Every structure is written in structure tokens, then in C-alpha cells.
Structure 1
């Protein structure tokens, strides 16, 4: 999988030694730039836009998101609690399978409670009726699987064969929608407008008989709306047409697009040696700090890196260096790079586009410290350490 990170932007002039290491640094100005684009889509199309906390839940930036978005979408009780505590606007909660002991609270917190199957709606119908009887005001949604794959990587494709995510649309019947106010689908991952349009062409015929009874349609996330070459005008016209054709309100749930290119992960070279090629150990761990590097897999862009084209790995000085993390996992390898700095202990490096997903997926496997979290504003140059993690954070999550 190829990274879709763009220009480093203001990070090209950020002094990496201003923060400790490792550290996530998020640029509030770039975040606002992304959010203004999403707000423009809202204003021109009439659709609602919710930020996906599963991708970016740096809640210290919640006031910034609240200026531009209609709310957030969450993936279960804990994210819903975080949303209610820190974020403004609507809360839409979807979970592949709810626990009975969580659902009461989720109904209290959420504006939309979206189920993965009609069977779960039926199983929890008493819970839903009791929640509404006590005054909880929420809509019930059903996630469908359009059975139309657009993803490049199967593990990130909700429509891959035998996917557990969403009720297969070719099995949908009228009785499945009896308690349902809206339909949700999510089929994209870092993609342009055309895959959404193709998906809707498939979905439309299946849902057309039910438009009169539905209040809203939720097109999920994976829309790379804030990338410079995304077809935004086409998206706006499409969203208008969908609302006109169906009479339904339309929601989008971008996650990555909220924080695209808005953050870096700063690290330090700790050691270097040779084993058939130059090797360097950093205090950034792929498995602990950027797990998608291994899961996708993909190669994250390095701030200031030089092209690898035509470079031989045995060139030594100025050649490709394999960067790896400090954990004991043999596969804790980030990738091969031509470094913008000497391959020496103490030198700082930074990986681009790490605000989304990386921050929310960090672990303390092997006792590797968590990166601290900083908020920078490239317009004012203000810099604030939001959180620094210590040994206690590692210890307290264990028994």
C-alpha cells in the first residue's frame, strides 16, 4: 500500500529538537485548513459531516473540530463517552456487535445507534424501546454491506469476501428495516470520489423501495476529501443529487481527511551498524507507534528524504539505510530510506502524516515508551506539550 501523504507543508521548517523524542506533533493550522475544506463541503452540499474518532481522537483539539463539523462518529461505548465529554454536536455510534451491558449507556449518549445486522436490532429491541420510553432521543441505523469491493487492500476493505462488516445488501428485506431510521455503509479507504459514486450506483437499486421510510443515509468514511486532487465539486453535486433523489439527509464520516498531513512523528537515531546494508535503530517503533506500517503494509514518508530511485543498498555513505525500532520484534522495520541527516546517533528524523490512526493505535509492547503529544500552530509558532507518558502508564495497564 502506497502512502498518500502530501507535501510536508509547514513541518519543513519545524525544528525537530524543540520536542522530546519520540513525539507526535500536530499542526493546529493544518488541522483548521482541512476542517475548512470539510465545512465548505457541508455548506455547499447540505450534507452533514462527522469526524471519525477511530482515526483521530486527540480530544485536546475537540474545540477546533467543533467550529467546523456537525459532530463525531464513534465505535463503541468508550469512544461515545469521550465524544460526550469533549466534543460538540451529534454523536453517531456504530459497533460490529454491541454488548448488552453497554447498550443502555450508548443509547443515552448517541444521536444515532447503528447496528451491524437486523438480528442485533431484534435481539435488543426491548433495550431500545425502554431507552426511548425513559426519554433517550436517538435514531436506529443499520449498516449494510453493498457487496461491491473498491478497496485496494483486503484487510481494509469492508466489502472483501466474507466480510463481517455490514448486512449483505442482497439479503435485505422490508422486515429488516421495520425499526430502522437510517442506513449506513462504509466501503472506502483513502479513496477519491469515483469509488463512492460507483458504490452508490450499486446501492441505489436495492434501497430505492425504502427511501420513503428512511430519514438519513450515512456514507461512512474513507473519503480523502482534503487531499489536494480530490474531486470536491463532483462530490458536492453528487450529495445534492442523492438528497434530491431520496429525500434523505446524508452524512459523511471522514477520519483521515480531518487530520491529513496535519501531524508528524519525531524520533531519534539511537545506533547504526552494517549487516549487508546500513542499518539504524530509532526510538520510533513500527509495531508500537505506527502499526499500519506492518499491517497494511506501507512505507511512511520521511521528512526531507531523498529519492531512492537508482540507489544501491551497498553504497554506504549516502545510500539507503534500513530504519527499525527498538523492540525485540524482528519485523519491527519501518523501511529503507536515504536519510536527510547523517546516519549517526542523536540525529533527529520525522515521519509525515502520522496524526491519524498512528496516534490512536500506539501500544507499550515490550515496554517501548509511548510518544508524547504536542500541539503546534504553524501560523503563530506556539508549541504546547499536551501529554507526556511515563513508566506508570505502562505499569498501570498491566496487572
Structure 2
């Protein structure tokens, strides 16, 4: 569910017509709903009720400071994957004891930053990373709390570019070697083992891969405890999918996921951490764009929009689907026609959809890309010297621009021409 609905024939964000925001900030722009973000976080929190748990929002999905502040105020932890994300999370007011640091390539500088600023745990992914973290921790006279990420070799049955739990992926250590690596960690005085970490991929639409992975984690936890390790925390990652195509069957609900987690892992007495990102932010945002031209081609017609692949790269990168709807609601029974929906960037890859059935639209009309709140603005670029699009937050009838569109002077003045040219 989201809070982007037609009212009186106009698509609204909560109580605000998106046409009014377009008139205020121009197109294209991202718009997020506080009510949807809040609802989705609480669904996860309630799904794990009765267990010791922390929902850590995966900020790589949408790292706007306003979104982070909202999550922190709701009681969320934050999952970060870089020093920059760590700094943003703290700047948004999230305390270090609620920040989990993931990622395969943490530098010693990033480790020091987190140890000095406060950290809940590092999810470490290799022996060289453990050695580096041990060195930094000892230099500061502290112990670094760690969970070791294990790779359970489970096929998440998702897009190959967002699968992370198979043996050929770069993430984690093979689960078959886990006891050996945990034994090594126990010999490093700068590290304190607190848990096990696993994350098998993103946009999963079935609970079966999760259950397979978590069952392996349960067995590993018992084996590690028999080896003398005090495993008190299980970090289960994120990955639960969202319904990008509303005509398709919906992915499992958070409550169903929570029931499975309790059934598979509940007897271990561990604190549970989960790291949802897409399911919290995805359906909480739309990208609004204007039709520049309707072009009649040979054998196909094109809708040429003012949004492009640099604004929303998912279709070009993953062949990802986003429902695209007009801001003015079509009359019931309106006949539709197929269009290739494209942007203005000089790349054939700047294509959002092919042969997509759409009601009649004309130059100047506005359309919205649904389910664009995750991996949209965070992955945007200024390719073709196109300014990053603004981000807008709506709560009820309140509207705030939470990232402004930069001017062309802003873009040009960031570059420096050396005196010798």
C-alpha cells in the first residue's frame, strides 16, 4: 500500500496534488510520502514483535537526510555501507549504537571513523578485513564488535546484479569455512564477536530462499556456540521485494516474513536485526516527469520525457519495471495504445519501457513513475550535464523540498580549469 492515489481525477501524494508540486518545483522531481515510509517501517517492527530486535533501515535505498531523520525518530537503526553514509546517519541524529556498518571494502579510515564516533557492529566479510579492523581497534585501545557475514550459497532467484548469497558472489565468507574464520577472530584481541550476518540478495519475491539461508544460520549458530563463541545477535540482512508491477502477485508481507523468522530462529534466544531498504522506501516515492514530445516512428510510437536514465537508472541497468501513469486520471474505458517510453539522453539505453500500453497523452502532460522511492535519487547522476532532480517530502498537506535542483552555475563552478590551460 502507498499514499499516492487519484482524488478528483488528479494523482495526489497524501493530501497534495502532484500537479501543484510540479508547478512549484518543475519536472522531473522525486516525491516521497511520510505516511508510507512510516507505515512500512512499522510493519517490519510489528512483524518482529515479541522478539528482541532492531529494524536497521538500509540507507543505500534512499539516503536523503530527511528520510534518515524520519527513520531515526521512529526508532530505526541504520545500515551503512560507506564512511559517507555513516556521517550522514550521524548528522541525521542516529546514535552510533544504532548504526551497523556493512560492505566488502571498508577502509581503515572508515573503520577509525566509526570506532571513534560509535558503532553497533561491523559486519565483516573477509580475513583481511578482520586483520585491518583489529589493527585499528588496538591503535585506539578499544574492541570492535563484529558479526561475520557468511555466504550460504543460496540462490535468491532474483536479478543476477542484485543477488549476493551465491558462492560466486563477492560477499561474505563461505559458510563451510565459518567455524575456522570465527576461531581466527577469537584470537584477535581488538575484535569482539557478537553475532552472525547473512544477506542473500534484493527484491526477493518468495520466502523460500530466506528460510533456506536462515536454517543454515541456525545450524551454524549452534555449532559456533559449541565452539565457545558467545553468539547473541543474528543480522539477517534485507531483500524482501515490492510489487513493481501491480498486476502481478504481491511478494510476501512483512508479517509473513516475521512469522518465518520466529519459526526458524526463535529458539536460539538471539537478538534479531533486519535491514530492509527497498520495502520501506520503494513504494513511498514517485518520479514525476513531463512529456516533451509524442513521436510517431516507423512501426512504433514514442513518448519522449524530460526524465532520463541519469534520473532513474534502474530500467537501463536492470531492465527493471516501473508502472508509469498519467497524473490526470483517464476516464473509465479509455482506449490505450503501445508506446516506447524514453528519455532525452543520447543513448539507446535511455529507455524506460517498450510497447507499454498507455492512455492517450500529449506534449506537456505529466506522468508518474510509481515505486521509485528506492534506488532512484541515490543512483542518479549528472550525465549529459543534466542537473540532479529535486526531492520533495509530503506529510498530509505539508510539502517541503528536501533537496533542491542545482543550477547550471552550480554544476559549472564545481570544475576548476588550471591556470596553465
TM-score interval (norm. to shorter)? 0.7 to 0.9
The answer to whether the 8 A contact 1:111-1:138 is kept is no
Q: Give distance in 1, aligned partners of 2:195 and 2:52.
A: 17
The answer to whether the 8 A contact 2:315-2:321 is kept is yes
Aligned to 2:210: 196
Task: Tell me the number of residue pairs that the alignment of Structure 1 and Structure 2 aligns.
Answer: 377
Q: Unaligned regions of 5+ residues in structure 2, if any? A: 245-249, 328-334, 417-421
Alpha-carbon distance change, 397 to 186 in structure 1, aligned in 2, over 3 angstroms: farther
State whether structure 2 residue 133 is matched by structure 1 residue 124. Answer: yes
Aligned to 2:258: 236
Per-residue deviation at 1:234?
4.1
The answer to whether the 8 A contact 2:151-2:166 is kept is no
Q: Give distance in 1, aligned partners of 2:413 and 2:133.
A: 34
Alpha-carbon distance change, 232 to 299 in structure 1, aligned in 2, over 3 angstroms: closer
Alpha-carbon distance change, 176 to 291 in structure 1, aligned in 2, over 3 angstroms: farther
Q: Give distance in 1, aligned partners of 2:345 and 2:66.
A: 29
Q: Give distance in 2, aligned partners of 1:41 and 1:245.
A: 17
State whether structure 2 residue 120 is matched by structure 1 residue 111. Answer: yes
The answer to whether the 8 A contact 1:193-1:231 is kept is no
Alpha-carbon distance change, 366 to 215 in structure 1, aligned in 2, over 3 angstroms: same
Per-residue deviation at 1:79?
0.2
Aligned to 1:25: 31
Alpha-carbon distance change, 184 to 33 in structure 1, aligned in 2, over 3 angstroms: same
Aligned to 2:347: 329
Q: After superposition, what is the alpha-carbon deviation per residue over 1:103-146, rounded to whole angstroms, capped at 9, x for unaligned?
A: 21122232212221122102331212233x2x6x7512221111
Aligned to 2:402: 386
Q: Give SS of 1:43's match.
A: coil
Q: Give distance in 1, aligned partners of 2:160 and 2:239.
A: 14
Runs of 4+ in structure 1 deviating by more than 6 angstroms, as ranges, are: 225-228
Aligned to 1:354: 372
Alpha-carbon distance change, 302 to 354 in structure 1, aligned in 2, over 3 angstroms: same
Aligned to 1:171: 177
Per-residue deviation at 1:334?
0.7
Q: Give distance in 2, aligned partners of 1:225 and 1:300.
A: 11
The answer to whether the 8 A contact 2:163-2:200 is kept is yes
Per-residue deviation at 1:263?
0.8
Written as runs of structure 1 = structure 2, the 5 A alignment for 1:73-112 is 73-89=79-95, 90-109=98-117, 110-112=119-121
Supply the RMSD in Å over aligned alpha carbons.
Answer: 2.6
Aligned to 2:322: 300
The answer to whether the 8 A contact 1:35-1:69 is kept is no
Q: Give distance in 1, aligned partners of 2:144 and 2:199.
A: 21
Q: Give SS of 1:288's match.
A: coil
The answer to whether the 8 A contact 1:145-1:166 is kept is yes
Alpha-carbon distance change, 70 to 384 in structure 1, aligned in 2, over 3 angstroms: closer
1:338 equivalent among 330, 354, 357 = 357
The answer to whether the 8 A contact 2:391-2:404 is kept is yes
Per-residue deviation at 1:210?
0.9
Q: Give SS of 2:61's match.
A: coil
2:283 equivalent among 261, 269, 280 = 261
Q: Give distance in 2, aligned partners of 1:226 and 1:254.
A: 15
Q: Give distance in 1, aligned partners of 2:43 and 2:202.
A: 19
Per-residue deviation at 1:37?
1.0
Aligned to 2:18: 16
The answer to whether the 8 A contact 2:28-2:287 is kept is yes
Per-residue deviation at 1:47?
1.9
The answer to whether the 8 A contact 1:39-1:69 is kept is no
Per-residue deviation at 1:203?
3.0
